[in-house]
Chains A and B, each alone.
Chain A
Amino acid sequence: MNLLDDLGTVLASGLRLTAPLAFAACGEYLAERAGTLNISVEAMMLGAAFSSVAVAGATGSVTTGLAAGMLTGALTGLIHGNLAHRLTIDTFVVGLVLNALVLGLTSFLIAGTTFGSRPPQRWPLLLLPGIVLLTWWLVERSRWGLELRAVGESPRAADMTGIRVGLRRRQALLWCGALAGLGGAYLAVGEVGSFNQNMTAGRGYLVIAAVIFGGWRLGRTLVGCAVFGLADALRLALPALGVTLNSQLLIAAPYLLALLAMLLFATRQRRPRALGKPFVRQEP
């Protein structure tokens, strides 16, 4: 009886910890199908977490906070997209810079402010099924998605057919930013109810790991998110259940799991062929 209760608690908390990852993974999945690998998911989530708490605190409305988070994420995506797919700066360099910038900026801003803690608001969880379905439909059924996939697999072919490769990738990054922002905002106002320094703590990287774990398929990507979310929940629950384990090891568990997933899946899966490669129209 007690065990069942505990299990239920862990599962519920696992679901709540999966949700931020799952929102962001929907975005990152779509972006990677378009061939753009952005490690700035971390920046999108962290920036959104901060701005959602700030705006929700100021307006008193969780909805406005979430919207602010999505906007912040999309803005990050816009910056990334223009740097990487208009100016063709290496996408990893852009991602690293954005991650460092947002971490520094939010740490700086939090130092001067105090956010009151607010009760968590879990209703945005209900948005998740809709977002998953919409992402699937966009990628697999819409013309936009078909063009995204073409751009991710064979940008030259797409270009010759008259598709604007850079534009599609920038659009994919906007979508990714908005959803990663929703994920980060949910983590802050939905789950925790306040903002701490570096509160996403590498969740953006877990999202990328989940997409790879999922072999660039949406369903499996979400399974990956659930695995990481449950690992996180267990980490929080085990001490309370009286199990004593090395706490550092526990904190590292989701990341170790991600590393393991990489080792097992990263090389075997069929990735979009142009993933992470900038597209520049070639001379003859």
Chain B
Amino acid sequence: MSALTLRGITKRYGAVVACEAVDLDVERGEIHGLLGENGAGKSTLMRILLGLETRDAGTILRDGRPVTAGSPREAVALGIGMVHQHFSLVEPLTVWENVILGDTGRIRRSRACAEIHEMSQRYGLPVDPLAVVASLSAGERQRVELIKCLRRDPAVLILDEPTSVLTRAESAELFAVLRRVVRSEGRAVVLISHKLTEITAATDRVTVLRRGRVVFRSATAATDVAELARQMVGREVADAAAIGLIPAAPHAPEKAQGDPALRIRGLTAPGLTGIDLEVRPGEIAGLYGAEGNGQAQLGDVLCGLVTPDAGTIEVGGIPVDLRRPGALHAAGLGIVPEDRHRAAVVPAMSVAANLTMKDLGTRVWLDRRRLRRRARELAAEFGVVAASLDAPLSSLSGGNQQRVVLARELSGDPRVLVLAQPTQGLDVGAAEDLHERLRRCAHDGMAVLLISTEIEEVLGLADRVLVIASGRVAGELRAAEATPEQLGMLVGGGAG
């Protein structure tokens, strides 16, 4: 009997189908990979399992008994536990307080600490129960999450994109723990991922979702990366980086020439220490590192959201006065920030308004006709698919929203283009499209800085790779010579 069986799970949001008649069997003692590109319905399926979402149709069986979880707490009672990547630890609280959060009864600190200590030993997850979570690294936080989850003794353990914040070494450690959990304790693990290599390396069986439907099922050993890629996307994909694979042959480096278009010297801000980097016209420089090592802070500085404590930024050889809002933009720096909704768009405003936001002219009255024309041109040029230019931006898909941001930033003919995690949350087609545009920008002489946590993306696009760890630039390699192992070492070296 399967630990977890899903039969005909269907969920629609209006006309949009998130899941369509999904069947899934997860056995005890196996790691089951759930593969699919962004928007394929993986997360919706898991939210239904956890009681965060209600299903329109279908049955869920736990050990053969039909169940329905109305809340995460009920899911725990049914033996379904989830390790969340974000938002599930309270940072100012200590490890032990976080672990016992959600229990009932009296608080017994020493007992909680002893319990955590015992679990640390059993699973090989070293962690200090008295440490404050805010002071822990991403890898340590993941251990706390795992302990918190395993302590409730779940029969089915779900992990949603668990490695995005981890270094390679930390990922390997995580998979070793999962192996132990299924082998010696007979639990079932569902590993949700869009990374092909992770699925082939860590799972026993794999189910592929595409547009809400199951399109492929196999034992992992009986399939390969190429087959899985084809099933996930539904066609052959030339751009390996877009499907999370390292390109077989690194592309020929573009000719970088002249003085740096972007030069950052000794940049220090909360979370950043003495960042030095240069990007020349015509090259793509990749800034690679595990999430949470200062990339977000660097992005904030380059957006002009944070004024650094020290250091200079030169665009085209001219120092920029960073205290002035919009100075970087005026100096010729375009940016596609990591969190679109926070720093790049106004979701409630129209597509047209978002497209022309940085190009309103200097007169008191807006030249509405010109702005409209400009918006129409940009939308056509960048292939923005929208019902209407007057529709609110929030009605667009993630890929199209990203196109709007890119179109606007490129419309000012910047010397320098900075992108932070530009393909996060995008489907493969949109990611391919974006990668192609970046290559063209560099080819046309723009200096491109690509900040990414995806090693495949960096190796697939960049001419030069800088590694960021703990808010410092830990090293630099030519992309043609860089290997994942080398990069992994630089990433881990900075953190440890």
Contacts and interface: CB of A to CB of B under 8 A. Distances in A.
Interface of A: 141-143, 146-147, 149-150, 153-154, 156-163, 270, 273, 281, 284
Contacts of A147: 101
A284 B54 CA distance: 13
B362 interface: no
Contacts of B105: 143
Contact of B73 (A154, A157, A162): A162
20 contacts: A141-B107, A143-B107, A146-B93, A150-B101, A153-B91, A153-B93, A154-B91, A156-B87, A157-B87, A157-B101, A159-B72, A160-B88, A161-B88, A161-B101, A161-B102, A162-B72, A162-B73, A162-B102, A281-B52, A284-B47
Contacts of B104: 143
B92 A153 contact: yes
B43 A284 contact: yes
A150 B93 contact: yes
Contacts of B52: 281
Contacts of B72: 159-162
A154 B100 CA distance: 15
A158 B101 contact: yes
A174 B43 CA distance: 38
B93 A149 contact: yes
Interface string B163-205: 0000000000000000000000000000000000000000000
Contacts of B93: 146, 149-150, 153
A154 B102 contact: no
Interface in B46-95: 47, 52-53, 71-73, 76, 84, 87-93
B106 interface: yes
A157 B90 contact: yes
Contact of A160 (B43, B53, B84): B84
Given A146-B107, A162-B102, 10 more contacts: A141-B107, A143-B106, A150-B90, A156-B87, A157-B90, A160-B87, A160-B88, A161-B101, A284-B43, A284-B53
B427 interface: no
Nearest to A146: B97
Given A143-B107, A146-B97, A146-B101, A162 B76 contact: yes
Nearest to A156: B87
Q: Across chains A and B, which 9 residue pairs bring their CB atoms closest together, nearest first?
A: A162-B73, A161-B102, A156-B87, A154-B90, A162-B102, A150-B90, A161-B101, A160-B88, A157-B88
A18 to B, nearest CB: 29
B395 to A, nearest CB: 14
Interface string B214-247: 0000000000000000000000000000000000
B44 interface: yes
Nearest to B97: A146
A149 B107 CA distance: 14
Nearest to B46: A284
A153 B133 CA distance: 12
B476 to A, nearest CB: 36
Contacts of A146: 93, 97, 100-101, 107
A44 B251 CA distance: 69
Contacts of B53: 284
Nearest to B73: A162
B87 A154 contact: yes
B400 to A, nearest CB: 18
Contact of B90 (A142, A158, A284): A158
A281 B91 CA distance: 20
Interface in B23-48: 43-44, 47
B71 A162 contact: yes
Interface in B90-125: 90-93, 97, 100-107
Which of B87, B88, B90, B97 neighbours the largest number of chain A CB atoms within 10 Å of its CB?
B90
A284 B87 CA distance: 13
A154 B72 CA distance: 16
A153 B72 CA distance: 20
A122 to B, nearest CB: 37
A161 B43 CA distance: 18
